[in-house]
Amino acid sequence: MSSRLMRCYLVVAAVGLAGFLVVPDGSTLQLIWQVGCGWFAAAMIIVGVRRSRPAMAASWWLFALGLAGNSGGILVEWVLTQTQISPGFPSWADAAYLSLYPAVAAGMFLLIRRRTAHRDWSSLVDATTLTTGIGLLAWVFMVKPAAADPTIGFLGHIVSVAYPLGDVVLLAMTVRLMLTGSGHNASFRLVSAALICFLAGDGTWAVINQMAWEPGPVAHRLLADIFLAGYLLFGAAAVHPDARSLARTVAPRPARISRPLLFALTFASLIGPGLLIVQATQHRVTDVLSIAVGCAALFLLVVTRMSQLLTQLDLQTEKARELAVTDELTGLPNRRAWNTELPRGIERARRGGSPLTVAVIDIDHFKKFNDAYGHPAGDRLLKEAAAAWLAHSREVDHLARYGGEEFVLMLPDATAEQAREIVDRMRLATPLGQSFSAGVAQWDGTETSDELTARADAALYRAKADGRNRVALPV
């Protein structure tokens, strides 16, 4: 049912977008068409919410409210024009138009908070950087001129500034949404496309106003069609089957920066210097303070992002270092770690004059166990044995996996007999009804780590020769 509803909706939306381009500009039919598309999209959002009952339904209700209010502004403006000589600025139509921004921004905030259960500081810094750069452009070319216009009065200044500020807020929410980890399903992409349509339409009108260009009927219809696409894309996102999972919590985005994001961040960071260069070449530097504040904010954001990347690099380096010396299956130190730790233990024993003993442990008949019960059972034996042996050794002892079913144990401050007792306790704790053979050798005060390990290994072979399931000392 949801798929059929989606297909029917797409057909109606396509007809709405294509048909609008042939509607006479300025006609009553054009008014009805625009308002109808907006209210149709809002109604379909409500239908989608009631059918699929998505998580964070409040976001969708807010989206519907914003679309209905914004498209309703077209009707309000027409009514005011029909009943008054001039509705003036600002008017009640502006209130309707502006209702889109707080409603959609609030819905986006709830959606983003639901999708990101954990604080994703890297995405937040990236979104703030991009918004700050674009916000600086909006300030110089839209907000500041609107605030300085002496012909529109105090309320007119507030409304004029509210439009570009609303776009900046929507931009921030859009970027933040697009940077929220994984889970970019079809509904997610449709919401993102709808927001981009609104921002693209407003941005295009801002450029047209800066150029003092009056678009003709065709251009006017094309620009209006962009906003209609935004309405209808929101509706498509709501009726799509993926809307149910849009608010699902997603894994945080990796801290690394992709190439497209790096390009966007670079562009945003260079907006301030670029504005200053343009104004300097025109011998009309009028926004020094604004540009300086924007550049300072962007610089601090870049430094913050670099700090995050360095922290992530340190964590990855430490993790790689740990993986290099850790056995993946048992979690014990591996042979590389043992080859580093044993010489250190011998050196400490030499300086302190204390005994040091090494044991080499081999699980009895491990190959037969593997063949009889399978490799998963063999892996389980190795993991459980490592855990059990650790529990029955001392905290100062160093247990490592030497390879295969063979383990090594360094026992500081333990003679051969003391080490034999400890290793024997470990032998009795071997899980799954298995046993091991072990050879124990005490450092003689002169031999190298390899020689000490070789003597313990020779004792292991003696234990095997004597019938296994025992601990042997060198001859």
Per-residue pLDDT averaged across 408-416, rounded?
Answer: 96
Place of tokens 């309000």: 76
Q: What is the CA radius of gyration of the chain?
A: 36
Structure tokens belonging to residue 34: 């625009």
335-472 fold: Alpha-Beta Plaits (3.30.70)
Alpha carbon distances (Å) from 176 to 121, 162, 232, 405: 11, 21, 22, 50
Joined together, the tokens standing for residue 159 give 């409304």
What is the predicted pLDDT for the residue at 1? 46
- Total number of residues shown for the chain: 475
Q: Answer yes or no: is pLDDT of 179 > 80.
A: yes
Q: Which two tokens mark 14?
A: 């396509």
Angle subtended at Cα 212 by Cα 208 and Cα 214, rounded to the nearest 5 degrees: 70
Which of 10-19, 234-243, 278-287, 342-351 shows the lowest per-residue confidence on average (mean pLDDT)?
278-287
Structure confidence by residue, pLDDT tens digits, 301-358:
999 988 888 888 888 888 888 888 899 999 999 999 999 999 999 999 999 999 999 9
* Spatial distance between the Cα atoms of 94 and 461, rounded to a whole number of angstroms: 90
Q: Check if the beta carbon of residue 452 is closer than 8 Å to that of residue 460.
A: no
Q: Which of 460, 461, 441 is nearest to 451 (CA)?
A: 441
pLDDT over 90, % of the chain: 61
Among the residue ranges 46-55, 124-133, 250-259, 288-297, the one predicted with the least confidence is 250-259
Range from 120-129, 247-256, 340-349 carrying the lowest mean pLDDT: 247-256
pLDDT band at 117 (very low <50, low <70, confident <90, very high): low
pLDDT, the chain, mean: 90
Residue with tokens 């945003």: 268
- Least confident range from 181-190, 247-256, 312-321: namely 247-256
Residue 367 corresponds to which tokens in the numbers above?
A: 């190959």
Write the pLDDT tens digit of every residue in 68-104.
999 999 999 899 888 875 667 788 899 999 999 999 9
φ and ψ of 375, to 5 deg = -65, -35
Which conformational region is residue 249 in: left (phi greater than 0), alpha (psi within -120 to 50 degrees), or beta?
A: beta
Nearest CA among 275, 293, 294 for reference residue 285: 275
Upper half-sphere CA count for residue 387 (Cβ side, 13 Å): 10
Quick one: tokens of 218?
């065709």
Closest CA to 206 of 134, 278, 150: 134
CB atoms within 10 A of CB 155: 11
HSE-up of 351 (CA within 13 Å, CB side)? 5
**What does residue 399 show for φ and ψ, rounded to 5 degrees?**
-100, 135
Judged by DSSP in three states, 341 sits in: helix
Given a cut of 50, whether residue 64 has pLDDT beyond it is yes
Can you read off the two tokens belonging to residue 221?
A: 């219809």
The most confident of the ranges 2-11, 156-165, 366-375 is 366-375
Tokens of 470: 């025992």
Name the token pair of 211. Answer: 């150029």
Partners of 410 in the beta sheet?
358, 398
Is the pLDDT at 254 greater than 80, yes or no?
no
CA angle 337, 340, 343 (to 5 degrees): 140
Q: Which has more confidence, 437 or 260?
A: 437
Is a pLDDT exceeding 60 seen at residue 269? yes
Q: Say how far apart CA 382 and CA 405 lie, in whole Å.
A: 7
Residue 382 has pLDDT above 80, yes or no: yes
Which residue shows structure tokens 């966007």?
264
Number of Cβ within a 10 Å radius of residue 321? 10
pLDDT at 381: 96
Token pair in block for residue 4: 């059929």
pLDDT tens digit sequence for 424-444: 999 999 999 999 999 999 999
d(CA 340, CA 334): 10
Burial pattern 323-350, b for ≥16 Cβ within 10 A else e, equals eebbbeebebbbeebbbebbeebbeebe
Q: What DSSP assignment string belongs to 354-418?
A: --EEEEEEEETTHHHHHHHH-HHHHHHHHHHHHHHHHHTS-TT-EEEEEETTEEEEEEET--HHH
The two structure tokens encoding residue 327: 């056995």
Q: Distances from the Cα of 189 to the Cαs of 7, 59, 220, 238, 445, in angstroms?
A: 17, 16, 27, 12, 70
Contact 287, 152 (CB under 8 A): no
Token code pair at residue 400: 């490592």
Which pLDDT band, with edges at 50, 70 and 90, does 18 fall under?
A: very high
